[in-house]
Structure 1
């Protein structure tokens, strides 16, 4: 490994010293072609953990063969299943472990299906990506969602589009399915004199409720999991930076997307002020941070085809159908 890497690095830099410690190799170099070296190291990130340092006047490249630790994914999956089950069980009038399990399966199916969409299409494009990392958290939902990690450069705008759009589309499908099933499940609690969480329902949720023939007041926690999926889908499709919507927009309109990235946070902050909603104020400031980070440029930065443009427009339209101006309202009985 060391000799092969040295020969490749020497195409862009003079290597005057090499250190090897376990599975880590350090190359002390004098760069000749900075841009070529940068591109080479970016490509190496698919298979190596790359660290570049400039210390004591020396330019040091540290490479370590990347190894996936599947046990971390498994441990987080189990922990998230436990946290969502406990929080789900608490959604019933009496702590209901079986009910909590049904909610947990529903919410993890919705979130996991979203991430698997990214995973499948990333693999199809030959991109290195991890399995989903679920994030346990003792909140109302029981989790902060799930993420996957991509390694290496983005091959093209087509690849960027396919990977970016697949997660929301898979997530919307899962959310529709779970919402319909949940609205068909009987749930008639009696919350007398207690605080109740009222949900603002987006147009897509209302449509499914009509199709399911739902005319009740309370929804089953499984239907709530579907609602969460729609809410998360809308947030992911906000067209800014490293969010899915940011990836899709960058693939559709190229570097002009950076202009949109800077406008969206202002719109969200204005929405938060108009609706008196701290959620949109929070997301306004979060997306402002994302907008400061320039989107990575694909290796082949050529326009996508018309079919993908159509899918992109449809996806953003579906995302808007998941929007509600006031997601949460707490009322007292």
Structure 2
């Protein structure tokens, strides 16, 4: 370990000193390997804290400085020694990402969505397997819708210094050939602002792309369905119906596969915006109202289960989707929501308004009965 002179400091270290100075008077800087040790005395009362893995109370200084250090590629800890306070900056150690997995899953999803999309275009794969290529337009549309959602989360998380993985597409032999896409977050959430921005970005960007895809699909010539198999009837959400009122649509009962991809995007957005648990809506509501969101998160599974039962047994219509989501949320809502490092500073009015608008868009993107077979 060797001492660093203020004159010889690296520009990044100088920036870190500037970030620290509102909270600590730095009287010494040392470097050991890739870690940097800042010795200082607090400028205000700062509660005792261990490193992040064992802290009981996270100090406001830690809350404020974590993001600043993360933006420079460092993880941050405060230690208290008899001789004074030590602020330790060490390079962020991200879990080794096997990106080949992302690539393989994306290729597999491209294939499964292409095959299922070709069936939507009326392909007969038994007589001509190469007809699967007819599903490429649907593949591009559905992966753009789902990928843009996760890309929104990824870009905004990186902007806030959060550690996150690339999107993982999930191939699955469903009607659309996939179970969607996910990303993985590592480490703490800096503050409510970051929690809100990450939570709201995916649905808004995904919904924007869904609207574009829907418009493109509605402008396409109608598809002649030759299959004698089962029929799926889609419930059109208000947002989709609004688009059909301003786009000239051919008189046909069949929805174009590309427009169907836009419909799927709207459904995915609406379901993700349910304000409970670890869903995007749960993140947004937690950022907006704090711990009070836990009451909504705990109540919603019962609300959805009751809604599904009412639709099935009283109205005699398909409410299975709400039974399914009610059961899913009942399993995960009880686990609570991770607390941001800085949970004290409320959101600004602009974000609060954007949160309300986002939930309203979610309601406009779904119907009580999205589909029936």
Q: Same fold (TM over 0.5)?
A: yes
Q: CA RMSD in A?
A: 2.8
- Which 5+ residue runs of structure 1 have no aligned equivalent? 9-31, 49-63
Q: Distance in 2 between matches of 1:75 and 1:199?
A: 32
Deviation per CA, 1:2-57: give whole Å up to 9, x if none. x879999xxxxxxxxxxxxxxxxxxxxxxx977864249xx8x9999xxxxxxxxx
Q: Provide the residue aligned with 2:280 in structure 1.
A: 244
CA 1:33/1:250 → structure 2, altered by over 3 Å: closer, same or farther?
closer
1:231 and 2:260 equivalent? Answer: no
Q: 1:166 aligns with which of 201, 208, 233?
A: 201
| CA distance in 1: counterparts of 2:371 and 2:239, whole angstroms | 17
Structure 1 residues 131-280: aligned runs within 5 Å: 131-190=166-225, 194-214=229-249, 215-276=251-312, 277-280=319-322
1:111 aligns with 2:146: yes
1-side partners of 2:201 and 2:215: how far apart?
A: 21
| Structure number with larger C-alpha Rg | 2
Asked whether the 8 Å contact 1:113–1:167 carries over to 2, the reply is yes
1:74 maps to which of 93, 103, 119 = 103
Contact 1:110/1:226 (8 A) holds in 2: yes
Alpha-carbon shift at residue 66 of structure 1 (Å): 2.0
Shift of the 192–126 alpha-carbon distance from structure 1 to 2, 3 Å rule, reads: closer
Superposition TM-score, scaled by structure 1 size: 0.80
- Which of residues 286, 296, 299 is equivalent to 2:338? 296
Matching residue of 2:353: 310
Query: Which residue of structure 2 lines up, in the alignment, with residue 18 of structure 1?
Result: none
Report the alpha carbon displacement of residue 278 of structure 1 after superposing the two structures with TM: 1.4
Between 181-190 and 275-284, the greater mean CA deviation after superposition: 181-190
Counterpart Cα distance in 2 of 1:153 and 1:120: 17
- CA deviation after TM superposition for structure 1 residue 324, in Å: 0.9
Distance 1:209 1:98, change over 3 A: farther
Using CA pairs below 8 Å that are at least 6 residues apart, which structure has the higher relative contact order?
1
Q: 1:6 to 1:307 in 2, by over 3 A?
A: closer
User: In structure 2, how many angstroms separate the alpha carbons of the residues matched to 1:65 and 1:233?
Assistant: 29
TM (normalized to structure 2)?
Answer: 0.72
> Cα 1:92–1:37, aligned 2, differ >3 Å: closer, same or farther?
closer
* SS of alignment partner, residue 313 of structure 1: helix
Query: C-alpha distance in 1, partners of 2:34/2:227?
Result: 69
Contact persistence 1:183–1:212 (CA under 8 A): yes
- Over residues 204-228 of structure 1, what are the superposed CA-to-partner deviations in whole Å (9 max), with x where a residue is unaligned? 1111111112243111111110010
